[in-house]
A and B are shown apart, each in its own frame.
Chain A
Amino acid sequence: MKNMEDIKSKIAKRKIFNNIFAIIGLLSTMVGLALLVTLFIDLAIDGTPRLSYKFFTSFPSRFPDEAGILSAWVGTCLVMLVTASAAIPIGIGAGIYLEEYARKNWFTSIIEININNLAGVPSIIYGLLALGLFVYFFNFGESILTAGLALALLILPMIIMAVREAIRAIPNSIREASYALGSTKWQTVRNHIIPYSTGGILTGIIIGLSRAIGETAPIITVGALTFIAFLPPSPVSGEFPFINFKWLLAPFTVMPIQMFSWVSRPQQGFHLNAAAAGMILLVMTLAMNAIAIYLRYKFRKKVKW
């Protein structure tokens, strides 16, 4: 009987440890979540009264009540468009090459190590690179194009790594089956590798873009403006050829810079504007993440091995 008691007390002890760990895990999760929620509530309390249709359709102004984020959110969207169209194809291409085509030798190892290291390089360095390369060498000027490409460079390593992770998760038997049926490498990649890894790739892309959307340092380095009360030329026009690319070379500002400029002003009213802009930026980022989660779910359902 005494033995039985012993075992019981040991089991009870283990259960306590089990519960303690569960509580630690829960608390750790809550810390991150609580911080985000507190931040958001704090921003919402200050910023919500400023949110109105006018806030989205007004240019910056010296009167906090009249100031809006029109040039900032348009700038952010256009810069993101450039970033996405540059980083996505290059990132996917590089990821597929490194995983599927490249031979494993010292040269590809060096490339791999460098890509991993690049992901950790401070963003201001990319800004300086972009300033020298795009602004002065290619003469793109302090434009949307320059900013978009700078951010594309910044998130490229992240996207490449995400693509590789996604591709690596595909079991080798799929490739072998494809080759057994006589497919070429390209056919295998086109019909199997890309479709099966789309979920992971999209997640990587959107995490990269969510990082890019909040970046300030490289954008300031390449010369984003603070006061700009006009929009870039519209990419779509009524006359032939209907699309134009003039906007790529237009001067611009983005959301984080507009926020930064407002936060450093003495008047309380501007601080409320900054809170409202911060809330919108946060919503934009959360929305992008939500899309990533949805897409991943959707593509995962499609994959049937």
Chain B
Amino acid sequence: MFKKVFSGIVAAAMAMTLTNAAMAADKIVKIDGSSTVYPVTEAVAEEFQKAKKGAIKVTVGISGTGGGFKKFCRGETDISNASRPILDQERKLCKENGIEYIELPVAYDGMAIMVNPANTWVKSVTVADLKKMYEPAAQGKITRWNQVRPEWPDAPLRLYGAGVDSGTFDYFTEAIVGKAKSSRGDFTSSEDDNVLVQGIATDKYALGFFGVAYYEENKDKLKLVPVVNPHTGKPVLPSEQTVKDGSYQPLSRPIFIYINYKSIDKPEVKEFVEFYMKNGAKLSKQVGYIPLPGDIYKKSLERFNKKEKGTVFHGAEVGIKVEDLFKTKPEM
């Protein structure tokens, strides 16, 4: 036992004398951020490491979009996954620490509105219906289906939704209520979307929102609800086609990676991003996401190679088409 004690002390002492420089010898691309973007980046990281035969190492964490930006703006990561554009306060934080970045879209994520298959009355919903259900003023008041639309039955309305710390929730509230993070508090929310799937699948009077990928895997347990496009007035179901051509609005959005400007000088990071843009279409589709249309990956790669730093967004914006991202020049 005393040998063990001694060796423990020696181990601790040795560790103290080691510096992080010892690790820097390895080529590591450090990525963190959104759990929504994670499956895409994981797929790219997996293929990239295979292609490089282990010469370059990639690590991916899930701290959430906000948590990822915190680390990114401290300069701890090379790339940050983000399911929404960078916010003003995060831009400020990065600026204070002298961190500059390049913003690239990597795929589309559609949010689906879902009900129980036994629900026969909902043919489609409008943004106004959803707002009526989820806005803060609905708390404790809108509790029955016929309060939303008189033709719907006089039955309890039970709401589900993505966890309040997720970028999905931020985007949904921005798109529906008009203000990010603003919603009623009395609905069932979970960071684990499978919990929501189970909830809706077993409750005839449920309605909820979460990522399309979760619907794809549970088609037999859930019913997808068309959302009325506010511009055309037509109900639209989320699909690869309708998300790509922009008719499934406002509940589809591009997801992003942010690359630390200084990290581009590291050949391993540059190679990784190039690999990402070249294989992004194929890999995002494999993991259940909707690839960006046409030549967007090429345009992104161009933007990356030209080192155009900054973001094209001014806070959270809804209904932006990914083509529009390349009409304006990004700024810090």
* A positions within 8 Å CB-CB of B: 59-62, 82, 84-86, 88-89, 92, 138-141, 145, 194, 223-230, 245-246, 248-251, 261, 263-268, 271
Instruction: Assess whether B4 is in contact with A226, with CB atoms less than 8 Å apart.
Output: no
Instruction: Assess whether B54 is in contact with A245, with CB atoms less than 8 Å apart.
Output: no
B286 is an interface residue with CB less than 8 A from chain A: yes
Instruction: Assess whether A230 is in contact with B191, with CB atoms less than 8 Å apart.
Output: no
* B positions within 8 Å CB-CB of A: 1, 4-5, 7-9, 11-12, 14-16, 18, 20, 22-23, 28, 30, 35, 38-39, 41-43, 45-46, 49, 54, 57-62, 191-194, 211, 213-214, 216-218, 283, 286-288
Please indicate the chain B residues that have their CB under 8 angstroms from the CB of A267 in the complex. 217, 288
- Which one of B16, B18, B57, B59 has the greatest number of beta carbons of chain A within 10 Å? B59
Instruction: Assess whether B8 is in contact with A86, with CB atoms less than 8 Å apart.
Output: yes
Instruction: Assess whether B8 is in contact with A249, with CB atoms less than 8 Å apart.
Output: no
Which of B20, B41, B46, B194 has a CB less than 8 Å from the CB of A249? B20
Instruction: Assess whether B5 is in contact with A227, with CB atoms less than 8 Å apart.
Output: no
Please indicate the chain B residues that have their CB under 8 angstroms from the CB of A266 in the complex. 193-194, 211, 213-214, 216-218, 288
- Looking across the interface, which residue of chain A has its beta carbon closest to that of B54? A230
Q: With A and B bound together, what is the CA distance between A61 and B9 in angstroms?
A: 37
Q: Count CB-based A-B contacts (< 8 Å).
A: 106
- Looking across the interface, which residue of chain B has its beta carbon closest to that of A139? B20
Instruction: Assess whether B43 is in contact with A62, with CB atoms less than 8 Å apart.
Output: yes
Q: With A and B bound together, what is the CA distance between A271 and B194 in angstroms?
A: 10
Instruction: Assess whether A264 is in contact with B192, with CB atoms less than 8 Å apart.
Output: yes
Instruction: Assess whether A88 is in contact with B4, with CB atoms less than 8 Å apart.
Output: yes
Q: List 7 A-B contacts (CB under 8 A).
A: A88-B4, A89-B9, A227-B38, A227-B60, A230-B49, A246-B18, A266-B194
Given contacts A246-B18, A246-B23, is CB(A88)–CB(B8) below 8 Å?
yes
B54 to chain A, nearest CB (A): 7
Instruction: Assess whether A226 is in contact with B8, with CB atoms less than 8 Å apart.
Output: no
Please indicate the chain B residues that have their CB under 8 angstroms from the CB of A140 in the complex. 15
Q: Which 10 A-B pairs have the closest CB atoms?
A: A85-B8, A227-B60, A89-B5, A62-B43, A266-B217, A266-B214, A245-B14, A225-B61, A227-B42, A266-B213
